[in-house]
Structure 1
């Protein structure tokens, strides 16, 4: 019998209604986007301005507000290709080892040592007693540990050799590979945190090759602005002040460094090279104000950092304590009393915007190595709008052509297919909006392709109905058999395309993945509308009209 149960009708119509409601916000894109941005800003800052209130009122809060995000090629924004200087991490490891190695050799091997200048990625130590070389090497080997990777099983992280009366320490090859991988993962995570903290929408941040990161951020003003946001290393340290200086070339002495003041031009500080506490031990940083109402940054250490910070301030009351950011002393306050609890504020000649940016950088953490930007590109919003207009024209032309062909070929049934096509597109956009997907030009290509493929299932069904009518069966039986016998061909044709789309998704890059996602979603919704929605239309029409003959 040509019937559809009531529960199935309710489910089909309900899904169609959800598709229309979910896609509706995209018809008012600018208003909904401003509403969403204002809501997100209020939730982030806990403060609501008049402009934000006006923006929130642009869209009713009881309606869905999820929209499809526009990619870099549609919205405009910044594109960067950065190369991570992974070799910097080798030098940092060697520099960090030197104080401990020096103390161990002096106390355990009973030798006098000094560091000899060598390659940046090696620690070269000269000892005064060649006869103690064997003992010294044994002491240095105590600093090595197994490499924690599957490929480095059984290997140590340090390679140690001797050259005359010198001990040369470098990272082993297995440890270099593991270090490079950790450095890239940490760099990716920190870049992602910094970009996310700036409130940008759906950035693309992914690793390319061994030491490169691709960063695409829609909606940001320029590549220079993006570089300023993510390129700052933000290495924060708290160092003991040895003395102030007016000469940038004054020798700092062994174990010390000479850093300029970020506040006072011509002022320099001789600092102990080893920091008391580092930014890695920070657990929170936020914009604040000092006791005089000037912008500042409040910070808080973790347990170990709080202990070291408290012990140092208790033992050095009355001395200067330098707060160093990226090789510049941003503040050198005097320790007036013991600071317990592991919290304090960073003061300086900051603007409110600078304190907010500094807090973002400190919360995200320091980049493990510097980045060199190999490629940078700013995509203007005008180019993005041109792409949107071109995509819209292509979609409209394709849809009109398909609708015209279906109506011309199948009459009323073609009208049913055209309405189902509109529901298909609305369901696609509803799913993409719910997913928070980013739409790019390849994604638009996937939608346009879906428009052409969406009626394939309907063509198979309608042609099958024509064949069944030739066997002299009644119209009701012909419609029923047409849908039943076309089912296998519809599923087979779309399943093979879904497999191809899955391969594109898992093996392709960002733009190719966008095409694959829209294609897969479009295939699923088109099969649903062809098998269930058009059948509901046909069955409902047939039940009302009861035609004796059927013209398809």
Structure 2
């Protein structure tokens, strides 16, 4: 009689049911859709929905559904051709207050989504996605570095009690900082202090007239080269962090040439949302208030602004605000940012946490300036795209607004809140950008496009056809050669595929053509395990064992060989997963999961089915 325990039957049943449920979403294919998202002046409401419906009716474009989801409106269509025509019609109807982008609408039933079942994302070679080519603004790196050195030199001269008249950047970018001192002795002392404190600066004596002695400090060329290379590396790292926030699997992010970065995101069709997150350089600058509100109004009226101050506008009220040119801390000194709600006012806010350097600067500033004002400047760099004479012209535009201007009520340093956001979504978006990290230099998206599957639909169909034909031949051969035990192996092989797809879907593994190759290899190895079991059972029967004893001995003796073979495969798959990248990693992850699922289905599932068939019957022979 069978000695297969009941708890193993229960385990097999639970795993198979969960496998079917979590693999099921892959049957429901997404449909082409157009997503309409409101910009700052737009609103997603039933009026917008009616406007979209009217625009589609006017162009005789049929849709399969229009609905408002969260903060956007989604209209779905029968195919990609209708989707493109609909996007053009909707863009013309809604205007510049809305962003219209391609997307895919999920058709997975709500009850599956409610339990966390989701379809497997497809890779760029199978599904296509978005492609961005970005140009890094290297000149901005030089500007920031020279400005930082100018501030540091001022502090150094005050610390060393060296008399100076001014410390300013030269008009031409890359020509360093000009320091005007009171005497030749002061110039010599300044040159020595700068050389000792900042070895990356080269000091040269400039002109001398009366009591004006000029010293020029220029950044070394090799330092500028290092800055450029580090800028690219930092931007690559920041973009990876931001894309991780998007939740895109296996993105391609790589350097192209000396100043460009290529980003390809599989399965993403909403270029607007991806571009907003990837290309944005939104950050915060905390600056000291300068003068009184009347001083700001006078500066706006006369156009005369103090040399160490800048005139800003406050968001919403548009009132003028004077702030110091010297920055207390910036967004790149943040270690964490989360959207929250201000407990006192109930308005959206961002909870900020600074690194040690930023915390010290903020603590020192607030300690010495309680009762004075501080402004928070929201800096955003966007690219305006216009069509001129049939050509697309891109113009970078930097927007700087004061989102908060308030009196410092007490001393704070590492943790505090920034208010002034117009909505919870704006606070959430800003926190997301700040968490992803500030770009070391702004990037301009010089090329963007939605790309189709790189392998081509014909190649994908041929690849899938080859997989199905190969699988069918394996199943047929097993059934013909091992008879009933071959059919049991075929059933286990089918459930192996189901469980493998379910696990990959549940943990979000991206399916690519190398991944499909890993699935095929997994299925081949799974049938190998059943071949070993069947041959062991045949051997036991030839040695005179009873059918039940042959089944029991066949599984027991084959298990050691199956385990040894799969452990070596696991080591190889683990190496591919941990050390590989891109398609190699995709193949390794699929192989790793497939080996684990095949060990369960080839041994435990087939044993359970065999025990159900033969366990309570008196047998004279076996169909094997």
TM-score (norm 2): 0.63
2:589 aligns with: 517
Distance 1:24 1:391 in 2: 26
Q: Is the 8 A contact 1:20 1:427 kept in 2?
A: no
Q: Does residue 379 of structure 2 align to residue 325 of structure 1?
A: yes
Q: Is the 8 A contact 1:447 1:519 kept in 2?
A: yes
Q: Does residue 398 of structure 2 align to residue 346 of structure 1?
A: no
Cα deviations by residue, 1:123-149 (Å, 9 ceiling, x for unpaired): 5646564545553244225545xxxxx
Within-5 A mapping of 1:105-254: 105=157, 107-112=160-165, 114-115=167-168, 117=170, 120=174, 123=177, 125=179, 129-132=183-186, 134-141=188-195, 143-144=197-198, 158-165=199-206, 166=215, 168=217, 170=219, 187=235, 190-191=238-239, 194-195=242-243, 200=247, 202=249, 204=251, 215-218=263-266, 220-239=268-287, 240=289, 244-245=299-300, 254=307
SS in 2 for 1:108: coil
Cα deviations by residue, 1:346-372 (Å, 9 ceiling, x for unpaired): 37xx78866764564456553222225
Q: Is the 8 A contact 1:263 1:330 kept in 2?
A: no
**By how many angstroms is 1:375 displaced?**
6.1
Q: Does residue 551 of structure 2 align to residue 503 of structure 1?
A: no
Q: Is the 8 A contact 1:245 1:270 kept in 2?
A: no
Q: Decide which of 355, 368, 373 is 2:440's aligned counterpart.
A: 368
Q: Is the 8 A contact 2:404 2:419 kept in 1?
A: no
Q: Does residue 120 of structure 2 align to residue 80 of structure 1?
A: no
SS in 2 for 1:274: strand
1:17 aligns with: 14
**By how many angstroms is 1:100 displaced?**
2.9
Q: Is the 8 A contact 1:263 1:331 kept in 2?
A: no
Distance 2:143 2:493 in 1: 61
Q: Does residue 271 of structure 2 align to residue 274 of structure 1?
A: no
Q: Does residue 506 of structure 2 align to residue 459 of structure 1?
A: no
2:480 aligns with: 408
TM-score (norm 1): 0.70
**By how many angstroms is 1:76 displaced?**
4.9
Distance 1:334 1:492 in 2: 68
**By how many angstroms is 1:161 displaced?**
3.3
SS in 2 for 1:438: coil
Q: Is the 8 A contact 1:284 1:301 kept in 2?
A: yes
Q: Does residue 605 of structure 2 align to residue 533 of structure 1?
A: yes
Cα deviations by residue, 1:268-325 (Å, 9 ceiling, x for unpaired): 9886432355445777575989x999xx8645666764884797683469xxx68352
Distance 1:99 1:498 in 2: 57
Distance 1:307 1:5 in 2: 72
Pair 403,190 (structure 1): closer, same or farther in 2 beyond 3 Å: same
Pair 61,343 (structure 1): closer, same or farther in 2 beyond 3 Å: closer
Structure 1 gap segments, 5+ residues each = 35-48, 145-157
Q: Is the 8 A contact 1:22 1:64 kept in 2?
A: no
Moved more, 472-481 or 378-387: 378-387
Pair 503,331 (structure 1): closer, same or farther in 2 beyond 3 Å: closer
Q: Decide which of 13, 26, 39 is 2:23's aligned counterpart.
A: 26
Q: Does residue 451 of structure 2 align to residue 399 of structure 1?
A: no
Distance 1:328 1:372 in 2: 15
Q: Is the 8 A contact 1:16 1:423 kept in 2?
A: no
Distance 2:3 2:446 in 1: 61
Pair 268,18 (structure 1): closer, same or farther in 2 beyond 3 Å: same
Pair 388,262 (structure 1): closer, same or farther in 2 beyond 3 Å: farther
Distance 2:475 2:605 in 1: 16
Pair 406,313 (structure 1): closer, same or farther in 2 beyond 3 Å: same
Q: Is the 8 A contact 1:398 1:451 kept in 2?
A: no
Answer 1 or 2: which has greater strand percent.
2
Q: Does residue 153 of structure 2 align to residue 101 of structure 1?
A: yes
Q: Is the 8 A contact 2:489 2:602 kept in 1?
A: yes
Pair 26,307 (structure 1): closer, same or farther in 2 beyond 3 Å: farther
Distance 1:33 1:72 in 2: 16
**By how many angstroms is 1:462 displaced?**
2.2
Distance 2:264 2:450 in 1: 10
Q: CA RMSD in A?
A: 5.2
Pair 411,81 (structure 1): closer, same or farther in 2 beyond 3 Å: farther
Pair 466,345 (structure 1): closer, same or farther in 2 beyond 3 Å: closer
SS in 2 for 1:163: strand
Q: Is the 8 A contact 1:260 1:328 kept in 2?
A: no
**By how many angstroms is 1:345 displaced?**
4.0
Pair 220,252 (structure 1): closer, same or farther in 2 beyond 3 Å: farther
**By how many angstroms is 1:412 displaced?**
0.3
Distance 1:334 1:122 in 2: 33
Q: Is the 8 A contact 2:120 2:505 kept in 1?
A: yes
**By how many angstroms is 1:14 displaced?**
0.2
Q: Is the 8 A contact 2:249 2:510 kept in 1?
A: yes
Within-5 A mapping of 1:474-513: 474-476=546-548, 478-480=550-552, 482-487=554-559, 489-513=561-585
SS in 2 for 1:59: helix
SS in 2 for 1:509: coil
Distance 2:472 2:542 in 1: 31
Cα deviations by residue, 1:88-111 (Å, 9 ceiling, x for unpaired): 445423311312312432553335
SS in 1 for 2:487: helix
